[in-house]
Structure 1
Amino acid sequence: MTDSAQPPAFPLDSPPPDEAVRAADPVGAVAEAKERPDPPEPPEEIVRAARLAPGHWFGTVDPGWRGEGVPPDYAVAGRWRSDATGEIVEWQDNDAYLPSPQVLGWPEPTDPVDAALQRAVTGYGPAEDVAYALTDAEVAVLTLPDGSPVTATGSDGTPVVPVFTSSRYLNLVGALAFEHRAAIELLPQLPEEHRIYVNPPSPAGAVLETGPLAEMMALTKTARPRTEPDGTERVAAGDA
């Protein structure tokens, strides 16, 4: 069993978002979303705002960012400028922009792990949240006749054990034998030097290093903040 395109290999220490996006997007969906040949059409709310405030710039925020206050650079697709009459006359791209899963057209997450992966590989959430979500998760593991996990090799030669957090992704690999196991209990059972490949068929599928992943899971028992999709923070499971 091999993967056709290498997913991001997270060391779980918050890799630079742009690197994570490039690694997670071998078919170029992110690049296509960022490189528009022509300026986009201004939305109606921008047109109305321009008429009310001539001679100003108006930023366009990615709908995937739901925080409060001034949005970060990576969440701003670009900005529009209105002239002295209130007409839109210029569009300026933002080179630091990272399109969110919503803009990329990815399907809605199936579960907390899938949601954390989608945010992490696009730069809208920290990689640590993947570990937090996996701590209490149960995953499906393909099994051999003796019950041991099926192993595979990534396109770069990395040995991996594919795991699935939902039936949506599991069903895509066919009618193969599998078992449900707690993710936190699975890590010690992996063959030596193997990493887990979470949701291979997903656009946000990722390879995770088992050592750092286990350490991050342990940190969920401490009072460490966790970033939510809306940009707020709450303590990890076990802290309340």
Structure 2
Amino acid sequence: MSSAGAEAGGIPTGSEDPAMPPVPDDIRAAARTAPEHWFGTVDPAWSGEGEPPLWAVIGQWRSDADGEIVEWQRNDEYRPSPGMLGWPEPTDDVDAAMQLAATGYGPVEGVAMAVVTAELAVLTAPGGGAVSACTPDGDPVVPVFTAPAHLERAGALAHRVLPVSEAFALVPEGQDLYLNPTGPVALRLSADDLSRAVDVLEAAAEGKEEQY
């Protein structure tokens, strides 16, 4: 998907690519009506109102005096969305929030907000406790999974599916939950993160009640 918009100048931080990618049909059509212009292409994940931020602009095309596209300039500040990175469709609300947060298309706080009402699969040790592992940085964490697809990639291992509050009860002191380590993006979640999310949701609910 592309978004055509005529501009008088190029993206100042961009750089010309030696090989021009295929020109979208809507960009080519817009160029015919506006010679000597630049036309920005926006990441399809951007859904905000008004002019998109520079980081959501993939790049731009330039039309010549005859209305033909003759140049492509990529935007060095562009942040690809999960879809543009080729990541799989999110399995659930938590996975979706994680993907958006990791790419800058959503707030990091949105992950904890989504986890509040989620159930998580926790790998269990022989004694019934949670299995701990290490992040790539060597920090001890408890891996948890938000959907069967993520759990299955971890292998056929004993596990329990629990509400997030019960999952945290199994976490050893000083460790965090480690969400979806088998997915396209993994994220640590602390008890403090969850507590702040609960406070925000409760405050929002109280505000709605006061309106009635």
**Secondary structure in 1 matching 2:142:** strand
Aligned to 1:73: 54
- Maintained 8 Å contact 1:187/1:214: no
Give the number of aligned pairs.
194
Aligned to 2:116: 135
Aligned to 1:59: 40
Note the 1:1-240 alignment, pairs <5 A.
Answer: 38-223=19-204
1:215: how far off? 2.0
1:118: how far off? 0.6
Structure 1 residues 53 and 198, CA gap change in structure 2 (3 angstroms):
same
- Which sections of structure 2, spanning at least 5 residues, go unmatched? 1-16
Higher-Rg member (1/2)? 2
1:147: how far off? 1.5
1:56: how far off? 1.1
- Maintained 8 Å contact 1:138/1:181: yes
- Alpha-carbon RMSD across the aligned residues, in angstroms, is 2.1
1:96: how far off? 1.2
Q: TM-score, structure 2 length as denominator?
A: 0.85
Structure 1 residues 201 and 37, CA gap change in structure 2 (3 angstroms):
farther
**Secondary structure in 2 matching 1:81:** strand
Amino acid at match of 1:196: L
Amino acid at match of 2:192: G
Aligned to 2:3: none
Identity of matched residues, %: 53
1:37: how far off? 6.3
Structure 1 residues 239 and 57, CA gap change in structure 2 (3 angstroms):
same
Aligned to 1:12: none
1:237: how far off? 10
Q: Distance in 2 between matches of 1:150 and 1:96?
A: 40
Amino acid at match of 2:156: A
Q: Distance in 2 between matches of 1:120 and 1:92?
A: 27
Q: Distance in 1 between matches of 2:23 and 2:198?
A: 44
Q: Which structure ranks higher in relative contact order (CA pairs < 8 Å, sequence separation ≥ 6)?
A: 1
- Which sections of structure 1, spanning at least 5 residues, go unmatched? 1-35, 224-235
